[in-house]
Amino acid sequence: MSSANSNAAVPLAVTKFRSFSVIIQQIYALTTLKKTISLLSS
């Protein structure tokens, strides 16, 4: 029973990690965009 639970938890962790990395990429893209805009406007 415990082995089945751990097997079910692995895809869940992978899904959470992927969504987390997508959020990080979006934040990084926004930060880069703001830096570029501030450089252009100065």
pLDDT in tens, 1-42: 556 667 778 889 999 999 999 999 999 999 999 999 999 998
d(CA 3, CA 23): 31
DSSP E strands in the chain: the ranges are: none
Give me the pLDDT at residue 16, please: 93
Give me the pLDDT at residue 26, please: 98
- Structural domains in the chain (count): 1
CA distances to 17, 32, 42 from 6, in Å: 16, 39, 54
Give me the pLDDT at residue 35, please: 97
d(CA 34, CA 42): 12
d(CA 26, CA 4): 34
Look up the domain containing 33 and give its range. 1-42
Question: pTM of this prediction?
Answer: 0.59
Give me the pLDDT at residue 27, please: 98
